[in-house]
Amino acid sequence: MKRIAIYHLETLLWIARLGTFRAAAERLNTTQPAISARVREIEEQLGIAIFRREGRNMVLTARGRRLVKECEPLWAGFEKALLTASGFEGATGTVRIGSGEIAAASCLPAYVQEVERDLPGVTLEIELDLTARMLQQLLGGMIDMAFLAGPVASPGIRTVGLGAVSLVWVAGQETVRAGGFAQNLPVWSIPSHSPLHGVTLETLAQGVITPRSISTCNNVRTLIEIISGGGGAAVLPEPMVRSLLASGTLAEVLPRPVRKIQFEAAIRGTESDPVVLELFRRAAGLRIDS
Amino acid sequence: MKRIAIYHLETLLWIARLGTFRAAAERLNTTQPAISARVREIEEQLGIAIFRREGRNMVLTARGRRLVKECEPLWAGFEKALLTASGFEGATGTVRIGSGEIAAASCLPAYVQEVERDLPGVTLEIELDLTARMLQQLLGGMIDMAFLAGPVASPGIRTVGLGAVSLVWVAGQETVRAGGFAQNLPVWSIPSHSPLHGVTLETLAQGVITPRSISTCNNVRTLIEIISGGGGAAVLPEPMVRSLLASGTLAEVLPRPVRKIQFEAAIRGTESDPVVLELFRRAAGLRIDS
DNA sequence: TTAATCGATAACAAAGTCTGATCAAATGAA
DNA sequence: TTCATTTGATCAGACTTTGTTATCGATTAA
């Protein structure tokens, strides 16, 4: 009985969350046989079956479910106690962060720097993705925190605002010299998921400009390069093009839209891991205003 | 960080309770170097000092004290969750039980049998001692539960009644044939700590008998042998002499005293170990009535 | 000073744990 | 069906952790 360690319980929790041994193994940075062994050890120690084979998956038995339920808050409390004792400087582990592309450019550099300074033992795994998929991954436990643009209200997700940045209508230097919107530029945007796309449409709806066409690219960096090369005009977050504006590669071609783009950090509403909660707390302290 | 197991916490808790590594080692059925190693591991993992050398002892630092305080309920929670999952049949460990001699004879056999049947993994270490010393050991953590005679009300101790047994005035067969109290028998009792002694004095105070002398022996079994051999009369718990009365070795020489002897089980009021609490619960279910 | 107690340390033994390479069963697609 | 994929089990071996015994130096009390 005494031979059950904390990581055995942590293993149970992650299997319960992710559904398969393999996913838990990946999540815990180990191998599937190790997970199998841990589960076997717990079952042997307790003399009960915690999982039952169901097709090619393992599912929790009633007792297993109860055990997991009881252990979850205890595990969180334990982690918190240890981290509190070491003042969080001793925090270790891997936290997976999803981020939208725009949020990544605007929020991540400062954030990562802060975390690496204050919590040197924590490894971050950052993956850029679309907002919808990120929320799904967040709920499914594949990522622990997400940075994203635009207000998100999803059940089971807890968010905090990080600030807002201005948007600017820009076009390439050459294009502007050639007359800008006087000559029916093509407008570029990113696919309809993004709040940027909404702003693009709003401006167009005002009838100020008549685009030659509306093209999209799902990668903002590439889009910026297209614009820089004279491909047309686009609404972009000011921080992402600030240096290009300063160097003259890009120039503003319309008044700045009133709407700004909001950034948020998101975690599961049920998140209990103190490291993730601490990272979320720190994210909430970011102020990404332009 | 993840390399800290439940027994590390248990180790901290017992060091905090008992004051020294050695005592904790003994209590946890291991050696002092093992305890030192566990402490070192925790301190290394957390990167903080939990103990500070003070003379030849180690005392908790402020952080250490806080950690212990936070971990105590967590540890109890883990133990309880695990034991609940295995239905307590999987309980393991050692529980130290102190018992008064009379309580031992009256309560322990049935109790031990029940525990060995239902919680086969639990080892009992039973030590017979005086009530006062037992309470001290209980509070000091050297024992976990005590069975004792007579009502006890001590701060920090939680008790439950187990029932009462009758007392009988007995003397040896030969003595009774020779006339019993008609001939001024010596009276034997146990030292003044015991409730038996009180009953002895009460009877004498009623003036019914006039003893030739009042001697004492701090061991009831020996006292019974003395009485059996014709050494005099004594007040004894009925169950302890039942078979000797039946066989005729002893005989009752006075009406039974009205006062009975109460038995109680006692644990620390702050006890959190689920195994001990379970054993206490079972003790409370005993009914030792004659 | 002597004896006893406290915890640290080293050397060795024992037990536990992880990994990488399979294996068998179940599932889903062609 | 057949084939490819996914899931977990198993095993051998290397490696790590953990415990024990015996000893040490430091501190305290007699």
Residues A252/A255/A257/A260 CA torsion (nearest 10 deg): 60
For residue B8, the tally of other CB atoms under 10 A from its CB is 19
Q: Which of A271, A268, A273, A276 is nearest to A139 (CA)?
A: A268
Write phi, then psi, for A40 (nearest 5 degrees).
-60, -40
For chain A, domains (ranges, CATH) are: 6-85 (1.10.10.10), 93-165+262-285 (3.40.190.10), 167-259 (3.40.190.10)
Q: Helix/strand/coil (H, E, C) string of chain A?
A: CCCCEHHHHHHHHHHHHHCCHHHHHHHCCCCHHHHHHHHHHHHHHHCCCCEEEECCEEEECHHHHHHHHHHHHHHHHHHHHHHHHCCCCCCCEEEEEEECHHHHHHHHHHHHHHHHHHCCCEEEEEEECCHHHHHHHHHHCCCCEEEEECCCCCCCEEEEEEEEECEEEEEEHHHHHCCHHHHCCEEEECCCCCHHHHHHHHHHHCCCCCCCEEEECCCHHHHHHHHHCCCCEEEEEHHHHHHHHHHCCEEECCCCCCCCEEEEEEEECCCCCHHHHHHHHHHHHCCCCC
Q: Is A120's Cβ below 8 Å from some Cβ in B?
A: no
Given this model, what pLDDT does residue A1 score?
58
Residue type, A108: L
Say if residue A199 is exposed, middle or buried (CB neighbours under 10 Å; 0-12, 13-18, 19+).
buried
pLDDT of residue A232: 87
Contacts of A274 in chain B (CB under 8 A): none
Q: How many Å apart are CA A184 and CA A62, to the nearest integer?
A: 66
Taking only Cα atoms into account, the Rg of chain A, rounded to an integer number of angstroms, comes to 24
Q: Tokens 């436990």: give the residue.
A: A141
A155 touches chain B (CB under 8 A): no
Among A2, A74, A89, whose Cβ lies nearest the Cβ of B81?
A74
Contact flag B82-A91 (C-beta cutoff 8 Å): no
DSSP-assigned letters across all residues of B136-189? HHHHHTS-SEEEEES----TTEEEEEEEEE-EEEEEEHHHHHTTGGGG--EEEE
The pLDDT tens digits along chain B (290 residues) read 568 889 999 999 989 988 899 989 988 888 999 999 999 999 888 888 899 888 888 888 888 889 999 999 999 999 889 888 888 877 777 788 889 888 888 888 889 888 888 887 788 888 888 888 888 888 878 789 999 987 888 888 999 999 999 999 999 988 888 877 777 788 898 877 788 888 888 888 887 777 778 888 888 888 888 898 888 899 999 988 999 999 999 999 999 999 999 999 999 998 988 889 999 999 999 888 76
Strand D footprint, Cβ within 7 Å: A 19-23, 32-33, 36-37, 39-40, 51, 56-58; B 3, 5, 7, 30-34, 37-38, 41, 55-56
Question: What pLDDT sits at residue B142?
Answer: 79
Q: Which pLDDT does position A282 carry in this prediction?
A: 92
Mutate which of A82, A92, A122 to test chain B, going by most B C-beta atoms within 10 A? A82
The whole-number average pLDDT for the span A199-223 is: 82
Q: What is the pLDDT of residue A246?
A: 93
Q: Which of B10, B82, B93 sits opposite A46 (nearest CB)?
A: B82
Identify any residues that bridge with B262 across adjacent strands, giving them in sequence order. B164
Three-class DSSP category at B20: coil
Asked if B10's CB is within 8 angstroms of A46's CB, the reply is: no
Q: What is the DSSP letter of B193?
A: T
Residue B1: per-residue pLDDT: 56
Q: By the CB < 8 Å criterion, does B10 face chain A? A: yes
* pLDDT on residue A203: 87
Which nucleotide is closest to the Cα of A22 by its C1'? D7
Cα angle value B270/B276/B281 (rounded, 5°): 95
Please give the helix or strand (H or E) that residue B234 lies within, else none.
Answer: strand B233-237
Answer yes or no: do B2 and A9 touch at CB < 8 A. no
Residue A184 has pLDDT above 80, yes or no: no
Q: How confident is the model at residue A290 (pLDDT cuts 50, 70, 90)?
A: low
Percent of chain A topping pLDDT 70: 98
Q: How many CA atoms lie within 13 A of A154 on its CB side?
A: 23
Q: SS3 of B39, please?
A: helix
Residues 38-67 of chain A with CB under 8 A from chain B are 45-48, 50, 63-64, 66-67
